[in-house]
Structure 1
Amino acid sequence: MDVLKERLIKTLNLTKDFFNHISEEDLKLKISDVPSNTIGEQAYCIVGARESYLEALKIGEWAGFKCSLLESHNKPLIVSKLEETQSDIERFLQESSSEINMNLVMDLLEHEVQHHGQLIRYAYANKFAFPKSWNVRYTV
């Protein structure tokens, strides 16, 4: 269980590094010639999943998707929401005295990593560099 929590926290940090690294203008980028939303809309999904999975962890089961991020192309707001949700998740994992549904933790980890794969494709398609932490973790 501790290893899973540690991996989740490392993954959340990588996401934060990515969004801190890119410019606000990059949030509007898509992948050309394929169905694609924007990088900022990827952030919307990430923040919403974090909020929704945290709620699910608190009640022990999935309760639906909700997202408080209202602007998907506002870098300071996105970074703030990523930091807030990461802090909330870390606090819950540290302070939880009840039995945690580890399947939900795994689902959140898988969701976050799946977005990392998508963000790698966005970066390659739009020819921008990765933060150093991504070069180390993913050899990009």
Structure 2
Amino acid sequence: MREIVIKNIKDRFGVLSELASSLTEVQFISKLDVPKYKTIEDHLWCIVGARESYFKALAAGKWQGFSCSLADGSDKLSYELALRQTQERFDRVLSNVLWNESTENILASLYEHETMHEGQIIRLIYGLGLEMPQSSKWA
């Protein structure tokens, strides 16, 4: 089961990297005109920060708190780089994990978080009249 979850996480990582690189700067910061709606940038900030935070939790065996390396005012290219870096870092993180129930739960939570944001981003992308990458199995 662990290998299936890891493969699915990697698939989600790929979709979000592909999506980020396909957007223009304007699309990246666009949002729907409805209350409490976020931009793609807002979602990706949370995704990058969660990946970094979940990686710390996997290494420690328990949640260590949330933080994101992306500074306010980061441009789209910084987001693309952060997405690629966290995608590349995932295997290294996993190679050092002491597997137990706690780390299995952290891994599952990371997958849930990625999937939840991908669903929100799908709705936003379609609401903006754009298309999701073909690699998105949910769209």
TM-score by length of 1: 0.90
**d(CA) in 2 for partners of 1:92 and 1:121?**
31
- Corresponding residue of 1:77: 78
Gap change, CA 1:97 and 1:36, over 3 Å in 2: closer
Question: For the Cα contact (< 8 Å) 1:48–1:66, is it kept in 2?
Answer: yes
Name stretches of at least 5 consecutive residues in structure 2 with no aligned partner: none
Note closer, same or farther for the CA distance 1:71–1:24 as it changes in structure 2 (3 Å cut). farther
Cα deviation digits, residues 10-55 of structure 1 (max 9, x gap)? 1111111111121121111112122112211111100000000000
Letter in 2 for 1:98: L
Runs of 4+ in 1 over 6 A off after TM superposition: none
% identical equivalent positions = 30
Tell me the alpha carbon deviations over residues 79-127 of structure 1, each in whole angstroms, 9 at most, x when there is no partner: 100011111112212x225225110000000000000011011111111
Note the residue ranges of structure 1 that are not aligned, 5 or more in a row.
none
Query: 2:108: which partner in 1?
Result: 106
Q: Name the Cα RMSD after superposition.
A: 1.5
| C-alpha deviation, 1:71, in angstroms | 4.3
TM-score with structure 2 setting the length:
0.90
Whether contact under 8 Å (2:55, 2:90) holds in the other structure is yes
Change in CA separation of 1:26 and 1:8 when aligned onto 2, cut-off 3 Å:
same
